[in-house]
């Protein structure tokens, strides 16, 4: 009986660790987490709205975000002004499913219902990061907004190089490799909050969030499984 009890105990411990590893290594499914993944494969329901949203104390419009993202945005805007004298402005933060549906419908009409063309820049309802409250479209005061030319502005250059310091990443990078993975054309204005620790790692990796999450999950699983007792030793069974 002691041997059987010991084996059952080891099996239970291993199962619990593996279950914990699966949860920890799949942060893309955690709606309350900073690595919650939303794209055309991972979509949100029409009823989804973050529990807490607040107005970020920055110039611009549509300034609502999750509280930690709103605070970080304010910090980033202030730093940009201090370091470059440029005034960044918010253009679009949180958007509901219904709001996104309206934007998408208008885009479809403007491209004569060419879905592929519409989705180069506009996400279908449920597939937009803006619905998470963790994304913000950013512009520079008195400059063109939501255009690739934002990349060439002083504010745009500063954001691309420094956003990670405040917990943000440039979500939709430039080039075919990025576009084939994210599904969107280059958007130098769209920034996603993931927290300072993750933002630094993703910025240094210089890969889309989807790619980084795969590597992160593999490493986390390997680390966690390495702590699972695989087999009992003769001493354990005495």
Where do the DSSP E strands lie in 121-167? 135-140
Which of 72-76, 117-121, 223-227, 231-235 has the weakest average pLDDT?
231-235
CA distances, 146 to each of 43, 56, 60, 104, 228 (Å): 23, 19, 13, 15, 49
How far is it, in rounded angstroms, from Cα 75 to Cα 65?
A: 14
- HSE toward the beta carbon, residue 114, CA cutoff 13 A: 8
pLDDT digits (tens, 9 = 90+) for 49-95: 999 999 999 999 999 999 999 999 999 999 999 999 999 999 999 99
- Residues involved in catalysis: 187
The pLDDT assigned to 104 comes to: 96
pLDDT bin (cut points 50, 70, 90) of residue 20 is very low
Q: What percent of the chain has pLDDT over 90?
A: 77
In this structure, the number of other CB atoms found within 10 A of the CB of residue 209 comes to 25
Q: What is the mean pLDDT of residues 146-158?
A: 96
How far is it, in rounded angstroms, from Cα 53 to Cα 68?
A: 9
The mean pLDDT of the chain is 88
Q: Which residue has the higher pLDDT, 228 or 133?
A: 133
pLDDT greater than 50 at residue 235: no
pLDDT greater than 60 at residue 29: yes
DSSP state of 60: B
pLDDT bin (cut points 50, 70, 90) of residue 229 is low
How far is it, in rounded angstroms, from Cα 118 to Cα 201?
A: 32
pLDDT greater than 90 at residue 231: no
Tell me the sheet residues that pair with 216: none
How far is it, in rounded angstroms, from Cα 54 to Cα 223?
A: 37
Domains, in order of start, for the chain:
26-95+130-225 (3.30.1380.10)
pLDDT greater than 90 at residue 232: no
Angle at 197 between CA 194 and CA 201, to 5 degrees: 90
Q: What is the pTM of this model?
A: 0.85
């Amino acid at each position: 009986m002691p041997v059987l009890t010991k084996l059952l105990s080891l099996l239970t411990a291993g199962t619990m660790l593996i279950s914990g590893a699966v949860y920890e290594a799949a942060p893309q499914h955690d709606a309350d987490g900073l690595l919650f993944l939303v794209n055309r494969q991972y979509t949100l329901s029409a009823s989804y709205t973050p529990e807490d949203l607040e107005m970020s104390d920055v110039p611009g419009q549509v300034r609502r975000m999750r509280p930690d993202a709103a605070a970080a945005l304010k910090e980033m805007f202030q730093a940009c002004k201090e370091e470059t004298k440029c005034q960044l402005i918010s253009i679009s933060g949180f958007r509901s499913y219904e709001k996104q549906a309206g934007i998408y419908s208008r885009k479809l009409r403007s491209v004569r219902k060419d879905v592929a063309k519409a989705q180069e820049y506009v996400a279908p309802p449920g597939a937009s990061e803006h619905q998470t409250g963790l994304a913000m479209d950013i512009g520079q005061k008195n400059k063109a907004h939501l255009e690739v030319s934002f990349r060439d502005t002083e504010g745009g250059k500063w954001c691309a190089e420094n956003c990670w310091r405040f917990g943000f990443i440039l979500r939709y990078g430039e080039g075919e490799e990025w576009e084939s993975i994210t599904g969107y054309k280059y958007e130098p204005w769209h920034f996603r909050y993931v927290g300072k620790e993750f933002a630094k790692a993703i910025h240094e990796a210089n890969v889309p969030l989807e790619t980084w999450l795969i590597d992160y999950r593999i490493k986390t699983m390997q680390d966690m499984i390495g702590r699972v007792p695989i087999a009992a030793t003769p001493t354990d069974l005495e």
